[in-house]
Amino acid sequence: MSNNGGVPYGSDEPTSFGLQPPSPAVPGQQPGAPGQPSAVPYPGNPYAAPTQVVPQQQARTDAQVDAQEPGAGRLIAGRYRLLSKLGHGGMGTVWRAKDETVDREVAVKEPRVPDHLPERERANAFERMRREARAAARLDHPAVVNVHDVAVVDGQPWIVMELVQGRSLGDALQEGTLGVREAARVGLEVLGALEAAHAAGILHRDVKPDNVLLGRHDRVVLTDFGIAQIEGETNLTDTGGFVGSPEYIAPERVLGQRPGPASDLWSLGVVLYTATEGVSPFRRSNTPATLQSVLNSTPAPPGSAAGGPLAEAINGLLDKDPSRRPGAGQVRSLLEDAAKPPATAPTQVVRIEGQQTAGQLAGPGGKGLRVGRKALFGLGAAVVAAAVAAYLVIADPFAGPLPDGWKKHHVQDVAATLAAPASYKQSTPDRSTDKGHWVTYTDPSGSIWIGLTLAKKAEDTNKTIKDSSAAEMYADNDTFKADGEYDLGMPENPKTDTNGSTTYQGNKSAENTVRYTTTDSQNPRPRELKIFYYKSKAGDMYKLTISYPGQGDFTARGREVARTAIANLDIDKL
């Protein structure tokens, strides 16, 4: 959605849910493509209801105006032609419009006030809209929506803004949580907008996911200053009431105390918690219960960012006492640390020869693979022929924003967030036959797959987890070198490049690259496999595997997938 206006929750908001992380995605179920109804990958997540995502729309001629929408085609102030509705909130309806004077598309906010309201309340509502225009127009920051004009029609202010192509953070959360680094990046942009507003003497007072727009080229925009309070101006809120969304309102505002910049920062903390955990920490079944939870409830510690700078920022921002909350400078420092990509050590290439051991990987199509003489989980010949074996190059990890067409998936069973192209199909264990912890994402062609396995120390009764990431990697490498028949169609003694001195977020990790030609007598194919190893402080072993052809058109694409998947792996607890 674009410039959606934001919808505050009313006292009859029918929402209620337990305070727990979102469930992993339903196997085989994929979120819809842009503009299509989305699946529900996080059952129980109140943000995960199926939704129709508004696609990025191109400029349209007057003849293409949606005649089914009342008001479409109307000309405002002699220059703004209304085309289609983008969204609506408590303060009005936002239209996509064409500025016929300068031939550009804009967003126009139409005031929406019930006719039965007394004249004083109607005047207050219109004054709030004028405040929105004044507040936003005073701010010069890339994360604040630009206001072009205020057109007065029949005494009512129509606010003309830039059209931000994209959708709201609230819409994005319908498809799943954000990874730690992406949430920190979004948080930094919103923080910048708030810093600019506070420097100008403006409090936003309604920071929430629906008011954070995710635009093109990784742009993040804070919008809807319709209830902003400008320093020195009269408060328009009626006695005993408040404006804003209850679950994001700071405790001091609930108590009727004078708000300050710390109140907006509280709201940012709630947004970051919601974005990473998949649940809103204070929302309850009705507004009074929600306000009580804001005052008295302590949410569960953020699990996806546990122990890191993002968790420290969230915990500090959600302090009930505004005087104890961190200031914008401290929050910025923590978010910058959380947004940094994993550090990497220089690549070294080593050839290792050794004895046979066994190692478990996440295989194509969601099958668990034991790389050794015997298969722990059998694979059908068709699966092996289509999508077995893999290639992961030893290279500097991909750094930068997630590429277009990729999505992040938090999978509770492997306690991590993975990035994968949106078209890849997810597979998870069938608990009736498989007690392992793994997930795979497979390209529709079957040529490339991404798999993550988690071996938990608490379940390692046979003591098969090695003492370090490097030791686990070398043990697997010995398996690749040994004689025998392999589930990956791998012959004995393939070429391997090992690197036991890489780092992941400052901790030791390891990588291995395996190159070989499959043993398929009818159609032998060059394949390559890369495995990223990380042993957590708790003793759990993670193995991230990316597989694709070793030669041909898919090779370059496979290397790109490998770099991006490794760089964007976010393990829940370090």
- Known catalytic residues? 206
**Edge-to-edge strands of the sheet including 449-455?**
425-427, 438-442, 449-455, 541-549, 526-535, 507-517, 495-504
Residue pointed to by tokens 């179920």: 29
Q: At what angle do helices 180-199 and 309-317 cross, to 10 degrees?
A: 40
- Between CA 267 and CA 261 the distance in angstroms is 10
Strand 156-162 and strand 147-153: the pairing is antiparallel
Residue pointed to by tokens 């606010």: 159
Coil, helix or strand for 7?
Answer: coil
- Between CA 71 and CA 95 the distance in angstroms is 10
Are 57 and 68 contacting, i.e. CB atoms less than 8 angstroms apart? Answer: no
- Between CA 269 and CA 119 the distance in angstroms is 37
Give strand pairing partners of 531: 512, 545
* The residue type at 250: A
What's the distance, Cα to Cα, between the start and end of the chain in Å?
35
109 is in an annotated binding site: yes
Residue 508's H or E segment, with its range, is strand 507-517
Are 207 and 193 contacting, i.e. CB atoms less than 8 angstroms apart? Answer: no
- Between CA 509 and CA 500 the distance in angstroms is 7
In 255-383 the beta strands, taken as DSSP E runs, fall at: 359-362, 368-371
Residues 6+ apart with CB under 8 A from 356: 372, 373, 478, 479, 481, 482, 483, 484
Residue pointed to by tokens 């919103």: 190
Are 136 and 112 contacting, i.e. CB atoms less than 8 angstroms apart? Answer: no
**Edge-to-edge strands of the sheet including 406-411?**
406-411, 416-421, 570-571
- CA dist list (Å): 532 to 362, 482, 524: 12, 21, 26
Binding residues: 109
Annotated binding site for ATP: 109
